[in-house]
């Protein structure tokens, strides 16, 4: 099996809405694959089709060598799935939740005790096995949810917006666990709308309105997906400057980036003097103006606006 996931022209329609529109890609074993897109882009629908929960309207998908329509139960036995709505039973203890998931996955009894200990250790909950899940912080709930999802040692792990609503430190700890699993050969498929999380992925697909509009390693996308070059401008007042620059023919795109503006132009060295002059003539105080390398956020915003 060369690829853990192969999909061809995968499409899903709900009446007049095309939620996923002719998507194609392949994922290798042990890869951390990211699916980035705004809410409503079709990410969760795509994942549910790959898990064998939804049938596609058109196209085909193979997961772990099984057709998602013909052999969905075989796929479900071999994968883990964790959604943004953490699927834990709040009135059960940490240990009881792990026991329940082990039962659902029909694990052999002789394996359960060892795997439970490993998952409790991973979650940092040693000594708190009998605590009710409802008493745990959001970050700990997320980690034990990951433990429940992976207690059966899946070959492939789907993580659908798994870090929504948790603090940055918990997100960082979560990603360290993802990398550890990938190093052991587990393929991880992560959907997110956080740009910084997308940077963690070996391969990244960007979805918008059901369509895949970019695919490749994050660093490669930064180098190839911007039509021109990028200029960063620190100036005051910022919004007035953005309005002025938007009206200039040399500006291909103007993006607000924190307290600065990122302006896409054909050639930065030639455009910088013209941009500076245009702003100063309209009483904009220019503090700094430089050519910069684009970040993933610049690529994401530019691709979405282009669409």
User: What is the per-residue pLDDT for 197?
Assistant: 85
- Cα distances (angstroms) measured from residue 84 to each of 132, 146, 162, 221: 20, 11, 5, 27
Phi, psi of 113 (to 5 degrees): -60, -45
Q: Among candidates 100, 150, 144, which has minimal Cα distance to 135?
A: 144
Give me the helices (H) in the chain, please. 43-50, 72-78, 94-104, 109-123, 138-150, 168-183, 195-198, 218-224, 238-246, 268-281, 296-306
Separation in Å, CA 117 to CA 94, 99, 107, 113, 150: 11, 11, 15, 6, 13
| Alpha-carbon dihedral sign for residues 269, 271, 272, 273 | positive
* pLDDT confidence of residue 84: 74
Spatial neighbors of 223 by CB under 8 A, at least 6 apart, are: none
Whether the Cβ atoms of residue 117 and residue 99 lie closer than 8 Å to each other: no
Instruction: Extract the tokens encoding 150.
Output: 């992976």
- The residue ranges of the chain whose pLDDT is under 50 are none
Please give the pLDDT value at position 21: 97
Domains and CATH numbers, the chain: 5-222 (3.40.50.300), 227-306 (3.30.70.100)
Backbone angles phi, psi at 90, to 5 degrees: -65, -30
Token code pair at residue 8? 């061809």
**One-letter-per-residue 3-state SS of 160-201:** ECCCCCCCHHHHHHHHHHHHHHHHCCCEEEEEECCHHHHCCC
pLDDT value at position 194?
84
Which residues lie below 8 Å from residue 40, measured CB to CB, with a gap of 6+? 209
CB of 161 closer than 8 Å to CB of 84: yes
Q: 21-31 burial, b if ≥16 CB within 10 A, otherwise e? A: bebebbbebeb
Report the pLDDT value the prediction gives residue 57, as an integer from 0 to 100: 97
How confident is the model over 35-54, as pLDDT tens digits? 999 988 999 999 999 999 99
What is the tens place of the pLDDT at every residue in 235-262? 999 999 999 999 999 999 999 999 999 9
pTM beyond cutoff 0.75: yes
């Amino acid at each position: 099996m060369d690829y853990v996931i192969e999909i061809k022209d995968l499409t899903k329609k709900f009446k007049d809405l095309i939620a996923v529109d002719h998507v194609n890609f392949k994922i290798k074993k042990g890869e951390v694959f990211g699916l980035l897109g705004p809410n409503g882009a079709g990410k969760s629908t795509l994942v549910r089709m790959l898990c064998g929960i939804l049938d596609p309207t058109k196209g085909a998908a193979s997961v772990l060598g099984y057709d998602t329509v013909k052999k969905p139960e075989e796929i479900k036995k071999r994968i883990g799935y964790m959604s943004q709505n953490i699927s834990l039973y709040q009135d059960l203890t940490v240990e009881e939740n792990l026991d329940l998931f082990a039962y659902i996955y029909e694990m052999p009894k002789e394996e359960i005790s060892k795997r439970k200990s490993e998952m409790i250790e991973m979650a940092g909950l040693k000594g708190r096995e009998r605590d009710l899940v409802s008493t745990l912080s959001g970050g700990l709930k997320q980690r034990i949810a990951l433990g429940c999802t992976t207690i059966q040692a899946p070959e492939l792990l789907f993580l659908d917006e798994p870090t929504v609503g948790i603090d940055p430190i918990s997100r960082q700890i979560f990603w360290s666990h993802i990398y550890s699993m990938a190093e052991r050969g587990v393929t991880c498929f992560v959907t997110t709308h956080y740009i910084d999380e997308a940077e963690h992925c070996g391969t990244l697909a960007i979805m918008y309105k059901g369509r895949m509009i970019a695919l490749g390693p994050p660093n490669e996308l930064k180098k190839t997906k911007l039509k021109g070059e990028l200029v960063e401008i620190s100036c005051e007042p910022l919004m007035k400057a953005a309005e002025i620059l938007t009206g200039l023919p040399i500006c291909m795109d103007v993006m607000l980036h924190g307290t600065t503006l990122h302006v896409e132009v054909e050639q930065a060295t030639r455009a910088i003097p013209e941009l500076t002059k245009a702003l100063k003539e309209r009483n904009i105080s220019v503090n700094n103006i430089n050519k910069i390398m684009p970040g993933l956020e610049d690529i994401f915003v530019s691709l979405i606006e282009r669409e």
